[in-house]
Amino acid sequence: MQKSTRNIYTIIMPVPTPEQFAAMLDKAQAGDYALASINVTSSTTLNAALAAFAETKTDGIIQFSTGGSEFASGPIKDMAVGAIAMAEYVHRIAKDLPCFVALTTDHCVPNKVDKFVRPLVAESKSRAAAGLQPLFNGHMFDGSELSMKDNMATAAELLREMAPLGIILEVEAGLVGGEEDGIDNSGAHHDKLYTSPEDMVFVQDCLGEIGRFTLAATFGNVHGVYKPGNVKLTPTILRDGNAAVKSKYGKTLDLVFHGGSGSLLSEIHESLEYGVIKMNVDTDCQYHYSRPIVDHVMKSYDGMLRIDGEMGDKKTYDPRAYMKKGEAGMKARVIQAATELRSLGISLA
């Protein structure tokens, strides 16, 4: 990457530099909108998200979970290698897009940090030493299973490694209920599902002087699949927590919304007013990718299979035939997410 003294907004690099990613978050906070952060597990789901952002000229985020990354690594089943491979794919494929696409990782619980987050940070350090930008813009540490003290102690340790690279750490205080990608909080105690103002202040106490971070504060949000209205959110928890932080520090926190499936649009919009600048979208994208494929198979059953000595229809069972439909379905859901989060068509590029 050539160095330049020009304004960061004039340098088109679809995977943003640390400075550009920080500017993306700042603009979202100032504009009361959030960036859609899309979980992917493969090149074809990556393409769906990239197509959505590119077609609408919308800045967004692509993120990789531990399970999704392990799946993407194929037979070696190495979550760090899978995440690195997918991130490098984005750096290459997205280089000519008319928008910025940031790269982050999703929930990483304490016992997976050494085989996921730390190897990815090491990869970014190697790139920086070679004069390149970090591979990732952010990583998430989910220490919500720990005490707040231990959670923030590990978070602080990780942020000290990331901050010199300009990588942003996402942390969680409180538990997002339900189950997703092997993280099961379906039996969590009611009180754990709500982050207190004291918790939010404590996060700022522990991390504020080290580097930039975002907080996945919980306000009744739940991972999984629910009909609209079945998830009972209390967005005012975010308002009250950020008010407490501002009272002590004169600033508010950048917040992340997890477990948004089944949330009412009015609740999503209310959360944007209280500091949410990033919202994760996973479950709904999985469904909207799979639904057109099911339709293709059911309507083309005879062509998909070689039945009674026939040869089927190669154009029908060619994986590209149905994966293109899956990508189109997921692309539409990503565009819907950006629309609901009020970020559609907004880009620093």
Q: Which of 59, 78, 106, 254 is catalytic?
A: 106
The label of the residue with tokens 């299979």 reads 305
Which amino acid, one-letter code, is at 84? I
Q: Which two tokens stand for residue 5?
A: 């003294």
CB 277 within 8 A of CB 254: yes
* Alpha helices (H) in 75-178, listed in sequence order: 79-93, 117-129, 148-162
How many C-beta atoms surround the C-beta of residue 96 within 10 A? 8
222-223/183-185 β-pairing: unpaired
Q: What is the DSSP letter of 9?
A: G
Q: How far is CA 194 from CA 172, 181, 236, 237, 304, in A?
A: 11, 21, 11, 8, 48
Q: Which two tokens stand for residue 163?
A: 């901050």
CA 33 to chain centre: 15
Residue 106 annotated among the catalytic residues of the structure: yes
CB 20 within 8 A of CB 100: yes
Q: What is the DSSP letter of 98?
A: S
- Residue 269, judged by CB atoms within 10 A of its CB (0-12, 13-18, 19+), counts as middle
In the chain, at which residue ranges do the beta strands (DSSP E only) sit?
Answer: 35-39, 60-64, 101-105, 138-141, 168-173, 177-180, 183-185, 213-217, 222-223, 255-257, 276-281
Question: Maximum CA pair distance of the chain?
Answer: 76
Query: Among all residues, which ones are annotated catalytic?
Result: 106
